[in-house]
Amino acid sequence: MMVRRDPATYLPLYLVTDTRLCGDRGTAAVVAEAVAGGVTCVQVRDKDAPARDLLALLTSVAEAAAGRVPVLLNDRVDVYLAARAAGAAVDGVHIGQSDLPPQLVRRLAGGDAIIGLSAASTAELREPAGFAAGTVDYLGVGANHPTSTKPDHPRPLGVAGFAAAAAAAPLPCVAIGGISAADVPGLKAAGAAGVAVVSAICAAADPAAAARELAAQWS
């Protein structure tokens, strides 16, 4: 069995894709530029795509990342497993509170898969069954600001709320939700293991430059 990667190596600058915001450029092309600019992890998220289209999207993003950073899939462990079976270089899944239970996802995905979990409330941040025995690798915590890319996000935390959440959580926490380069130093100081961005890169005219600016702020 392969040993899972240390979250500290891939969480600092975490890109979550948005097919609509990537537009005619295509998600894979935006990912290639973003990785060149310093993104350390990519999560493919397209909640409207049928399974076959999502598989094609995930595969194309994995090809664009070319093994330089982990590539994860949002929610769909079945599509992740299909991509692996097809030989794509994909590394794990990120799940929400209403998706399959983390323990079952771990059993399906295997011991070497990266598994992230969205969490917001105190109960979710301390849920012991999901965190036992290395079931989950990291938590995505937010939203930090209101964001149009996830209309059903919980009440925004802000930096102080994130700091309290990160202090209470037993796992590394990635801040997500409307994050810009200006937010990065404060969130890092508040205990973030990384920042997850969508619009800041996917909507940028120059994704590589946007990624470089975010990475510089993290550093």
Residue 97 known to bind ligand = no
Residue 149 known to bind ligand = yes
Short-list 42, 61, 29, 6, CA closest to 208 = 29
Residue 44 known to bind ligand = yes
Distances in whole angstroms, Cα of residue 107 to Cα of each of 30, 77, 125, 135, 138:
32, 11, 21, 9, 17
Residue 43 known to bind ligand = yes
Residue 198 known to bind ligand = yes
Pairing of strands 138-141, 92-95: unpaired
- Do residues 196 and 214 touch, judged by C-beta distance below 8 A? no
Residue 30 known to bind ligand = no
Residue 147 known to bind ligand = yes
Q: What angle do CA 115, 75, 168 make, to 5 degrees?
A: 50
Structure tokens at 10: 């891939």
Residue 75 known to bind ligand = yes
| Beta-carbon count within 10 A of 60 CB | 18
Residue 118 known to bind ligand = yes
Residue 148 known to bind ligand = yes
Residue 45 known to bind ligand = yes
Residue 155 known to bind ligand = no
Short-list 31, 50, 47, CA closest to 39 = 31
Residue 150 known to bind ligand = yes
Long-range contacts of 78-85 (CB under 8 A, 24+ apart): 78/51, 79/51, 79/54, 79/55, 80/109, 80/113, 81/108, 81/109, 82/51, 82/55, 83/55, 83/58, 83/59
Short-list 102, 91, 117, CA closest to 9 = 91
Detail the residues annotated as belonging to a binding site.
43-47, 74-75, 99, 118, 147-150, 178, 198-199
Question: Binding-site residues for Mg(2+), please?
Answer: 75, 99
